[in-house]
Structure 1
Amino acid sequence: MKLFYYLKHASLEILPQSVFNFNRSRLEKKYQSLSQEITNRVNYYCKVESPFVLPENETQIGNYRRKGYTSYYFDLKEFLHYFPKQYRFKYYFGDETHIEPLPTLFKARPVAGDNQNSVLFKLDKRRHFRFVNDTLSFDDKKDMAVFRGAVTQPHRIRFMQALFDHPLVDAGQSNPSSEHPEWQQPFMSVEEQLQYKFLICLEGNDVASNLKWAMSSNSVVITPKMHFETWFMEGTLQAGIHYIEVKDDFSDFEEKIEYYLAHPEEAKQIIRNAHEYLKPFMNEELEQLVSIKVLERYFELSGQRQKKEV
């Protein structure tokens, strides 16, 4: 898979500009009927409302180079190919959610507050945008919730303190813990986690990396209120519609689990809603077009590209 990944991006480097222009036109024509939906997504990712000017010494497409964060680099470079090499842009890679003074391409941003200078782009997608083909029905899964992951942030520590060894939860951390060695539990594959009716998704440094595949399963996602969002538009997800929301201190966790175990049809409706929400993100060509349009919008607002008349 990694070899194919690198070969794909190496081939993009040698393609003539005409190939990218043709693909953009093809995608625009194919998804013309979804133009309003695409515009809505672009406006969500790029909330910048006023024109801005980038410094002359800002990164140009032509001198954009890899400096660590390989997947981030390639995920952005794939769509920079569609634009002139003299175009400039600001970007920030990694699990970082601060707000820059000028519009900057980020993987994640805070849901609340003045976040318009963080322009969301689909970065680190091989890690975050994974989906599963869950063949096990909700009814046939274990009547429990499961969590596996690193436990270093205060909110994850709070979760383990509240629910480790709870009879309705199989919780374990993947990193060593000298203070709580009992918290470290054996590795559990995605396939093994899919045997549980409820999948606990906890934010890390930004969003929960398991959220997308969990929502594509036949299990129900459980999470406290989300504070960060990515290309997945986590800020538009609705509690009780797409996932089960619990309090930050997890004091209502058992109550919520017991309720949905007693009302399985409501749990299954949440699963159906989650699957419906996922559909646009699973359309690779549509994702390509939206990515192109986000960069178009960024370059238009920065005065480097003339807005296309409709």
Structure 2
Amino acid sequence: MKVFYYLKHIGLALLPHSWFTRRQRKLEQKFADQQDYIQRRVDYYLKTAQPFTLAPEETTAIADYTRRGFTSYFYDLKEYLHYFPKQCRFAYYFGDETHIEPRHTLFKARPIAGDNERSVIFKLDKRRHFRFVEDTLSFAEKKPMAVFRGAVTQPHRIRFMETLFGHPLVDAGQSNPSETHPEWQQPFMSVEDQLQYKFLFALEGNDVASNLKWAMSSNSLVFTPKMVFETWFMEGTLQAGVHYVEVKDDFSDVEEKINYYLAHPEKAQQIIDNAHAYLAPYQNPDLEDLVCIKVLERYFSLSGQLEK
């Protein structure tokens, strides 16, 4: 898969600018009846409505944009920079960072709360975060338990393991070694194996939970504490009890919530159906391409580098 990923980007670099202009026009025609939806997403990612300035010494021109680590981030942004003049400048920050820069900067993630409008969300590291599954098991066919696998280094994940490791309704295990709690490290569990469970924990790490998207595309019910960060998936618009089940930060109500949805599978199924409906647009590659283009178009326009 990586070979095809790199070949795709090599091919894009060889195409003339006119090809990207034509493709954007075709995408705009294809989704002409979804302009309001596209605009709502663009407004969400780039919240600023007023023009802003970008200092040349604090930004990078498209012509000078080169890879310095973070390969997937680099190519995920480069793919859409092809649509714009090479003199356009932008600020970007790669990695699991969620701080707020003093200038309008492209980020993968940002805090949901607070003054976050200078963090412009873009679809970065998408091969890791935007994975979906074809779940062949119905909710009724799955094991009546919850499951979690992942690295445990942050305080909230440590608190999760302290509370739920060994619980009869939760198969909890960490993927990294632990000197303090070696028993927490459990064997690797594939996505396919995790799909055997009715309930999937999506716990934020340094920013968002990387398994949230594929978990919501499954026929299992997603459990998570209140989310703090958001990405291209617009986690800040997800509703507890509608798209996922929210549990307390101390995880004290997990057993109660599991038992409730075991006793009310029809309510679990409604949340699962809502989750599928929410993520459906993200599974349309052409629509996703157009939204990415429109975010950058707005960014370059508001910074005075493109005519509207």
Name the counterpart of 1:21: 21
- CA shift for structure 1 position 31: 0.1
* Residues 106-126 of structure 1: per-residue CA shift (max 9 Å, x gap): 000000000000000000000
TM-score normalised to structure 2 length: 0.99
Corresponding residue of 1:41: 41
The answer for the alignment partner of 1:180 in structure 2 is 181
55-64 or 22-31, which deviates more: 55-64
Q: 1:297, 1:200 → 2: CA distance? A: 36
C-alpha separation between the residues in 1 aligned to 2:194 and 2:94?
30
Gaps of 5+ in 2: none
CA drift at 1:52: 1.1
Which amino acid in structure 2 is aligned with residue 64 of structure 1?
A: Y
Instruction: Give 1:260's aligned amino acid.
Output: Y
**TM-score, normalized by length of structure 1?**
0.99
Q: What is aligned with 2:139?
A: 138
Deviation (angstroms), 1:99 = 0.2
Q: Deviations over 1:247-288 (max 9, x none)?
A: 000011111110000000000000000000011100000000
Query: Distance between the aligned counterparts of 1:13 and 1:186, measured in 2?
Result: 42
2:74 counterpart of 1:64: no
Counterpart of 2:305 in structure 1 is 304
Query: 1:176 & 1:49 partners in 2: Cα distance?
Result: 47
3-state SS in 2 of match to 1:221: strand
Secondary structure of 1:96 counterpart = coil
1:128 Cα deviation after fit: 0.2
- Tell me the secondary structure at the aligned position of residue 186 of structure 2: coil
In the TM superposition, 1:74-93 aligns within 5 A as 74-93=75-94
The range that moved more, 242-251 or 55-64, is 55-64
Q: Distance in 2 between matches of 1:53 and 1:110?
A: 23
Answer yes or no: is 1:206 the counterpart of 2:194. no
Matched residue, 2:11:
11
CA distance in 2, matches of 1:48, 1:7: 36
Residue in 2 that maps onto 1:197? 198
CA distance in 2, matches of 1:98, 1:36: 30
Q: Which residues of structure 1 form unaligned runs of 5+?
A: none
Aligned structure 1 segments of 4 or more residues deviating by more than 2 angstroms:
none
Q: Percent same amino acid at aligned positions?
A: 73
Q: How does 1:264-275 map to 2 (within 5 A)?
A: 264-275=265-276
Distance of 1:193 and 1:27 partners within structure 2: 37
- Post-superposition CA distance 1:65-85 (Å, at most 9, x none): 000000000000000000000
SS at match of 1:119: strand
- Using the alignment, how far apart are the partners of 1:128 and 1:22 within structure 2? 29
The AA in structure 2 aligned to 1:108 is: A
Q: CA RMSD in A?
A: 0.4
Q: Is 2:259 the counterpart of 1:255? A: no
SS at match of 2:95: coil
The alpha carbon displacement at 1:48 in A equals 1.2
Which residue identity is paired with 1:185?
Q
Q: For residues 137 and 88 of structure 1, what CA distance do their matches in structure 2 show?
A: 48
Counterparts of residues 111-150 of structure 1 (less than 5 Å)? 111-150=112-151
Structure 1 segment 203-242 matched on structure 2, within 5 A: 203-242=204-243
Partner deviation per Cα, 1:285-304 (whole Å, 9 max, x = no partner) = 00000000000000011000
Instruction: State the AA in 2 paired with 1:15.
Output: L
* 2:169 maps to amino acid: L
- CA shift, 1:49, in A, is 2.1
Name the aligned partner's letter for residue 271 of structure 1: I
Partner of 1:130, secondary structure, is: coil
Cα distance in 1 for residues equivalent to 2:49 and 2:27: 26
- Partners in 1 of 2:81 and 2:45 — Cα distance? 17
| SS class of match (1:78) | helix
Report the alpha carbon displacement of residue 53 of structure 1 after superposing the two structures with TM: 1.0
1:252 & 1:148 partners in 2: Cα distance?
Answer: 20
> Following TM superposition, by how much is the alpha carbon of 1:56 offset from its aligned partner in structure 2, in angstroms?
2.0
Amino acid at match of 2:138: S
Question: In 2, Cα distance between the equivalents of 1:264 and 1:6?
Answer: 44
* AA at the equivalent of 2:43: N
Letter in 2 for 1:88: R
Write the letter of the residue equivalent to 2:242: I
